[in-house]
């Protein structure tokens, strides 16, 4: 009715209530909006703890996120990076990317730490090395269209963008589901697989 997209409404709430430069408070404020006002398809605090734990265990230097949406997952990943690490995040929708950019900067992360790339993942992935300087990713977080998971994993393999021992974390593989991705990951003999059980966000 207002003509303002809900993603933009969420950002306006962040501007009014979040502490600039405090990524944890930005995430908490985001959670408050999603619990009390409107649902957004962000990672959320429950699955967020899984992401945080894996980042702490792996301490990756180069992280790739496929599916920026409003920047919640990006801030979650960025706050868990070791010093000097870099995060590349790929957003397909320019309108969502515009919101995400403001959320990321509000949380205190500059372009040296987080690079936001706008475009379809199947076009961006082949350009990551030459155009964006990502030689190999130590940690990949997939949270975009589920039908793209397998295609994009195989693109990363084809372009040799996965470091040896890299972690690939994919959200919502059971529901709404990415069965072809899951089958490939379990049967291709390139990966050791673990399913983390969690509830849907919010």
Distance (Å, rounded) from C-alpha 97 to C-alpha 119? 10
Distance (Å, rounded) from C-alpha 191 to C-alpha 194? 10
Beta strands in the chain (DSSP E): 62-66, 86-91, 114-118, 137-142, 162-170
Bridge partners (DSSP) of residue 139 are 63, 167
Distance (Å, rounded) from C-alpha 32 to C-alpha 179? 32
Catalytic residues: 143, 146, 171-172, 201
Distance (Å, rounded) from C-alpha 143 to C-alpha 140? 10
> What is the token pair recorded at 18?
């979040």
């Amino acid at each position: 009715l207002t003509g303002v997209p809900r993603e933009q409404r969420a950002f306006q709430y962040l501007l009014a209530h979040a502490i600039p430069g405090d990524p944890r408070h930005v995430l908490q404020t985001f959670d408050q909006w999603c619990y009390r006002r409107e649902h957004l398809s962000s990672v959320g605090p429950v699955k967020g703890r899984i992401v945080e734990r894996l980042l702490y265990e792996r301490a990756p230097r180069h992280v790739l996120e496929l599916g920026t949406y409003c920047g919640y997952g990006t801030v979650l990943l960025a706050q868990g990076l070791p010093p000097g690490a870099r995060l590349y995040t790929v957003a397909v929708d320019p309108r969502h990317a515009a919101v995400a950019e403001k959320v990321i900067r509000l949380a205190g992360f500059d372009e040296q730490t987080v690079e936001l790339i706008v475009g379809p993942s199947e076009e961006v992935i082949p350009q990551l090395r030459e155009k964006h300087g990502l030689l190999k990713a130590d940690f990949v977080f997939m949270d975009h269209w589920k039908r793209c998971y397998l295609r994009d994993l195989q693109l990363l393999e084809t372009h040799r963008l996965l470091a040896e021992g890299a972690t690939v974390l994919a959200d919502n593989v059971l529901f709404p589901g990415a069965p072809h991705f899951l089958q490939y990951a379990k049967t291709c003999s390139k990966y050791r697989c673990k399913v983390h059980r969690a509830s849907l966000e919010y």
